[in-house]
Structure 1
Amino acid sequence: MKHTVKLTLAAALFCQPVMAEQYYGFMDVSLNYLDWTDKAEDRTNPNKGGRGGAKEDFFYLELEGGAGFDWGDVYGFVDFENPTNSNDGQFSDEAFATDGFRIAAKGTFAYNLGKSNWNFYGHIYSFTESSSGFFDQNVVVGVSYDIFTDYGLWMKPFIGGHYENQGAAGSGWNGGMLGWVLGYDFQVGKQKFSITNWHETEFARDDQFRSNGTQFKLNSVGWNGAVALWWHLSNNFTGGFQYRYADHKLGTAAYHDALIYTLKYNF
């Protein structure tokens, strides 16, 4: 983990003590291609499974960064999905087009509680779709815990209350969320690799947020995440292969998954 991304860290850095010591920082930009499996496309095809909005493969650009300080850490990303596409205006004939331009962004903040490994934890995730005007914002506030080992494995589990603000369903408390991020660094010969995983499980979801516009209803528990293998080609380039998974999430009342191919440039 390695330099800082201005967009996602700016909001958190104002809380930073004047003489804070920085332990690490990183920033990268990546080109990604998400390829839904046939199973996922069938389950969301209105003429077959019909369990959610139709899924279609897409490219996206991502800006990502984070930093660790003696008081805690911050992380964030911004994704520009179908970045070369546009629409004629909100609620146009292209509304809810599967190849529409979309923005997804997330920021996390963990503040150390004394000298323990416990942190005050918070994150916000935001998704907007240009042609329909749809948006969904998720705020989680709770605690996290830092786990480090001497053999390259690290992990940060978290749990907190979940507040949602959605264009189609309104706003309010929507149960809770637990999850984690973890990573493991290793070498094969002189080549450097790492495995990472992020995961989120929503539980005790309110009926207000469980409709997805079909005859099917999302369960009160849903989860999603990704497992990735990264090959650090050089100091500046990283190639990645991710398995993306979700169950009763992303607007689909079923399990669905995808493969993501990634090339990063590390600043």
Structure 2
Amino acid sequence: MKNIKLIFCSLIYISSLSANASDFTLESGVMDWSHKAEKVFGKQRSENAFVKLHGYNATDFGDLYGNVLIEDPDDQEEMGIEVVLIGQINLPDSDFNAYSQVYVKNEPDWSETIVLPGVSWDKVFDNGLYFQSALALNYVIADYRGLGMSGWENGYNGLYFTLTASKDFDIFDNKFSVMWNQEQYFFRDDIYTDITGEQRSFGFNGWLVLDWHVTENFGLALSYRYSNNNMGVKGYSDGVFYSLKYKF
């Protein structure tokens, strides 16, 4: 919980910057997970309400992004918290950056903190397309208290590679944006994949998000989330999210 509090405070700081300089969004909706995900996780991945706070700030020095996701806010026994903080420091005279990400997931019976230091490349093209890729080392600090596991050792857990693309577009004077993100994990430790049930040293997960910007501040979002030997499920698993967004 100490890590979550620290990152949450960082996100509040991002929010204060974003209100003046960039982007600050509150999102709320429903996660509709597939039967396979529900079979593995039960009520933790079924039809779950969620609230998500996004903050983003870009400067000449670098970029900072964070979000706090609360799952099942209406059910204290199942409520989970996910926190992500991503930073890039621009390297001089190039599109390359020093990259870091901290991911924290806390459920009632387990928790994970993943630390990903590395390098990234990003660019906004003339047609408005934004593209980012990042390569990082993967370090895991976890507590699988509710899974009956012993012999777990925190530390290095392979490599991480991510791709992100996003673009704004108009249809009949309506403003939309689409975003795709995929994360790949390589050479993960057998102990980790056995504990999580993913059972393969390589796994990936991703998002495909379509936003309809109804007004300058209010929007609707449809998201498709998928994974393969990742997110605690062996093989392919997916879900569809429906949400409302308010941009400050």
Note if contact 1:155-1:180 (Cα within 8 Å) is conserved in structure 2.
Answer: yes
Equivalent positions of 1:125-204 (< 5 A) are 125-130=103-108, 132=109, 134-168=110-144, 169-204=152-187
Question: Residue 29 of structure 1 is aligned with which of 23, 26, 29?
Answer: 26
Equivalent positions of 1:51-62 (< 5 A) are 52-54=40-42, 55-62=45-52
Question: Residue 218 of structure 1 is aligned with which of 184, 199, 211?
Answer: 199
Q: In structure 1, what is the equivalent of residue 192 of structure 2? A: 209
SS in 2 for 1:8: helix
For each residue in 1:16-67, what CA deviation from the matched residue of structure 2 results, as whole angstroms up to 9, or x when unmatched? 9xxxxxx9510011102110123x34xx52xxxxxx4333220110011101
Q: 5+ residue gaps in structure 2? A: 1-7, 145-151
Equivalent positions of 1:1-267 (< 5 A) are 7-8=10-11, 10=13, 24-38=21-35, 40-41=36-37, 45=39, 52-54=40-42, 55-87=45-77, 100-130=78-108, 132=109, 134-168=110-144, 169-212=152-195, 217-267=198-248
Deviation of 1:189 after TM superposition, in Å, equals 1.9
Deviation of 1:140 after TM superposition, in Å, equals 0.5
SS in 1 for 2:22: strand
For each residue in 1:156-200, what CA deviation from the matched residue of structure 2 results, as whole angstroms up to 9, or x when unmatched? 110010000111234110001001222011101211101101110
For each residue in 1:64-109, what CA deviation from the matched residue of structure 2 results, as whole angstroms up to 9, or x when unmatched? 110100011000100111012113xxxxxxxxxxxx0100010000
Note if contact 1:9-1:74 (Cα within 8 Å) is conserved in structure 2.
Answer: no
Aligned length: 231
Note if contact 1:9-1:76 (Cα within 8 Å) is conserved in structure 2.
Answer: no
Note if contact 1:212-1:252 (Cα within 8 Å) is conserved in structure 2.
Answer: no
Distance 1:10 1:113 in 2: 24
Distance 2:61 2:49 in 1: 36
For each residue in 1:209-239, what CA deviation from the matched residue of structure 2 results, as whole angstroms up to 9, or x when unmatched? 11236xx552000100110111001111011
TM-score (norm 1): 0.81
Note if contact 1:124-1:139 (Cα within 8 Å) is conserved in structure 2.
Answer: yes
Distance 2:131 2:9 in 1: 25
For each residue in 1:127-156, what CA deviation from the matched residue of structure 2 results, as whole angstroms up to 9, or x when unmatched? 0013x2x11011101000012111121111
Distance 1:233 1:63 in 2: 19
SS in 1 for 2:199: coil
Deviation of 1:10 after TM superposition, in Å, equals 3.5
The runs of 4+ residues in structure 1 deviating greater than 2 Å are 52-55
SS in 2 for 1:53: helix
Deviation of 1:6 after TM superposition, in Å, equals 6.5
